[in-house]
Chains A and B, each alone.
Chain A
Amino acid sequence: MSVEVSCPACGAPIAFKTGSSIVVVCEFCNSVVARGDRQIEDLGKVAALVETGSPLEVGLRGVYQKVPFELTGRAQLGHPAGGIWDEWYAAFQNGRWGWLAEAQGRFYLTFEQSLPEQSLIPPFDSLELGGPVAALPTSVPLTVAETGVATQLGARGEIPYRLQPGEQYEYADLSGTSGIFATLDYSETPPKVFVGREVTLAEIGLGNAQAPEREARRVAGAQLNCTQCGGPLELRAPDQSLRVTCPNCGALLDVSQGRLTFMQALQPPKTPPVIPIGSVGEFEGVKQMVIGFMVRSVEFEGARYYWEEFLLYNPQIGFRWLVRSDDNWSYIKSVPPGEVMHRSGSFGGKGDTVQFQGERYKIYQDAIARCEYVIGEFYWKVEVGEQTRAIDYVHPPRMLSMEMSLIQLAVEEVAEPGQKRKKKKNVKTAPAGEINWSLGTYMNRRDVEKTFGISGLPRTSKIAPNQLYPHKKVYKYWGLMLAATFLLGLVVMATGSHAKVFEKTFDLQPLANSEATQVIFDGPFELKGRRNIKVMAQSSVDNSWLYVEGDLIDDATGDVQTFSMPVEYYHGVDDGESWSEGSQTPSIHLSAMPAGQYMIRLEAQWEKWQLPATVSVKIEQGVPRLLHLFLAMLLISVIPVLVAINHFSFEKRRWADSDYSPFGS
């Protein structure tokens, strides 16, 4: 039931439309009016809201998990690194309040949770970026993505807590898989816990909410001009940019609520960006504009290595990056920290890996990245010389990069009498910071040229850390073809008609001399077409030989297939070791002959010609040939083996610039 009162500051009428709201911001004088048991109270004035280009508005109605809600209020909070974020307060029909946080185009809907074991929530000072936080009622483990001190700046509408203008409080944002999100609010003891998840506007029934027109506009009045040189400049993301460089004099300017403040004079780059600021390219199916360019570097073994980052912007999807390193390109977008699973312990170190969407990424580099140069505009307070710890993990063609920034915050705790919350002003320094994870995907140079409609981007001579080996699919085909060939071999052998077509033992009389031979004719027997022929001889020679020359003769056509088979077997003992050589049962394989009746002619000669000899001859057809199967599989493997050698070399070159090369230094 709506309760109407007069603003204690200006007397204007204000209404508590929602039964459980605690404060209302007077829309005439911006006073925060709280209602208590008996009287209303003026908590002070908040600043006017800054236009952030949010698609949301107080009064919008949505539905989440089948429960309708209305956005009754909005607060703007100052981020420790500069900039602001919005919190929207959703009054649900079932009496619950939802906190809808909005930052850089993402939305997080959370609900306050009462924990049975509040004492298990770790104190703010003990939180470690990237570290786990247990004791929260979530289905997945959560890690600390950000810690900091928020400052209450502006507000509007009805708000479900006692908002103190200018109040500062410590907070920690936690992130988990599947978009699970939580906030620890240390404004009270024990801290308040909000648990929820990242949502899209469509999911909460606000899909039709329209962002205000965000076309580029010039900063009005005096703010049109650079404070250093007076030249005009254009903001392409006016609602988001916190820093911009003057295209005329190169000055780095702070953008605060549309006002420009000189920060730093920048040296012009040695070479202009290969993709000019203002260029538009299509990624992920949407057009994105290059609004910023920065050069960053890391030091590795005493040498400094540079790369370039192009900041892309589209009002609907926010910010993305295009990175050029050694003329290799990657398209980069941020991912929620909780989606990245780290085993345990601190980040970095040999063998460190992370899991993302079921894939394992190996550590490639861990270094302090320094900003060397900037042009254009940026959504954070970028400074030349700013440093972050950057760790890259690779799983070609993707690379996960973690950037960890730490800042020291000055916070003073002053408990106000009768207030549960503590008002905090500069007294102590608290560590704060955030972890940002981004997912980079390797891009072909030609694709970059094509999307921006440019040409002549330099070719690379190096392998990118996340460059996919181009011939990897050969391995898949290799496996498939080996399996198919093996299967074919099994089918051929299983369906072949292996049959004996001739077998006979011949007694040979002593020869007249060592040069003489004995000839035998036998047959006929039938040979079938399209079946190979195996001829086997057997003679019990012992440290001796018997040589058989043979012919298979098609009496009808005169076709003669010759063959020869030495039967020789030697054995003995040399230096205490026994040895043997040759075989008493040699064989030979012959190609299929035309079907027909065949004779066999054998001509034999043997070493002990003075003595009689015996030789048996057997002929089979349709003999399974494992050798042929093996040769086919060997031939199929030649190219993949060459590819594997090349792949090995590729991987060595990929890891050449890494401290964590699996190939050693």
Chain B
Amino acid sequence: MLKRFYLIVGLVIMSGYGFVALTGKEFGDPERERIPADVRQSPGGYRSFHFWHSGYRGGK
């Protein structure tokens, strides 16, 4: 029983790997959005979300 379940799970994982590899899928992608050209081209209408809020606080 377990071996059949494992066989199914294993094949699903293998298939998943194959799907990811063949479609170029990556995990944990940053946000993807659609911004119309007129919005992008308006002054101040296109600014990275990150900088808009706080700016980078790097450093050791």
Distance in angstroms between the alpha carbons of A496 and B11 in the assembled complex: 22
Distance in angstroms between the alpha carbons of A489 and B25 in the assembled complex: 14
- The reply to whether A517 and B17 form a contact with Cβ atoms under 8 Å apart is no
Distance in angstroms between the alpha carbons of A532 and B51 in the assembled complex: 26
Distance in angstroms between the alpha carbons of A601 and B50 in the assembled complex: 14
Distance in angstroms between the alpha carbons of A227 and B31 in the assembled complex: 96
User: Chain A contacts of B9 at CB under 8 A?
Assistant: 639
- Is A484 in the interface zone, CB < 8 Å from B? yes
Closest Cβ of chain A to B18, distance in Å, is 6
Distance in angstroms between the alpha carbons of A492 and B15 in the assembled complex: 13
Contact of B3 among A473, A492, A531, A603 (CB under 8 A): A473
- The reply to whether B26 and A590 form a contact with Cβ atoms under 8 Å apart is yes
Distance in angstroms between the alpha carbons of A378 and B60 in the assembled complex: 87
- The reply to whether B35 and A590 form a contact with Cβ atoms under 8 Å apart is no
- Is A551 in the interface zone, CB < 8 Å from B? yes
Q: Which of A538-552 contact B (CB under 8 A)?
A: 543, 545, 547, 549, 551
User: Chain B contacts of A531 at CB under 8 A?
Assistant: 24
- The reply to whether A530 and B40 form a contact with Cβ atoms under 8 Å apart is no
Q: Which of A434-475 contact B (CB under 8 A)?
A: 470-471, 473-474
| Chain A interface helix/strand/loop/mixed | mixed
Distance in angstroms between the alpha carbons of A417 and B35 in the assembled complex: 123
Please, which residue of chain B has its CB at the minimum distance from the CB of A624?
Answer: B21
User: Chain B contacts of A628 at CB under 8 A?
Assistant: 17, 20-21
Q: Which of A221-241 contact B (CB under 8 A)?
A: none
Distance in angstroms between the alpha carbons of A629 and B14 in the assembled complex: 9
Q: Which of A148-170 contact B (CB under 8 A)?
A: none
- The reply to whether B48 and A632 form a contact with Cβ atoms under 8 Å apart is no
Closest Cβ of chain A to B38, distance in Å, is 9
Please, which residue of chain B has its CB at the minimum distance from the CB of A517?
Answer: B51
User: Chain A contacts of B45 at CB under 8 A?
Assistant: none
Between B11, B13, B33, B55, the greatest number of chain A beta carbons within 10 A of the residue's beta carbon is seen for B13
- The reply to whether A603 and B30 form a contact with Cβ atoms under 8 Å apart is no
Closest Cβ of chain B to A608, distance in Å, is 11
Distance in angstroms between the alpha carbons of A486 and B56 in the assembled complex: 40
Contact of B26 among A553, A589, A603 (CB under 8 A): A589
Q: 6 shortest A-B CB distances, which residue pairs?
A: A592-B24, A545-B58, A632-B17, A547-B56, A532-B24, A549-B48
Instruction: Give A contacts to B, CB under 8 Å.
Output: 470-471, 473-474, 477-478, 481, 484-485, 488-489, 492, 496, 515, 517, 529-533, 543, 545, 547, 549, 551, 553, 555, 557-564, 566, 568, 570, 581, 588-592, 601, 603, 605, 607, 621-622, 625, 628-629, 631-632, 635-636, 639-640, 643
21 contacts between A and B (CB under 8 A): A470-B2, A474-B2, A474-B3, A477-B10, A481-B13, A488-B18, A489-B17, A531-B24, A545-B56, A545-B58, A545-B59, A559-B34, A560-B33, A581-B60, A588-B30, A589-B26, A603-B48, A628-B17, A632-B16, A632-B17, A636-B13
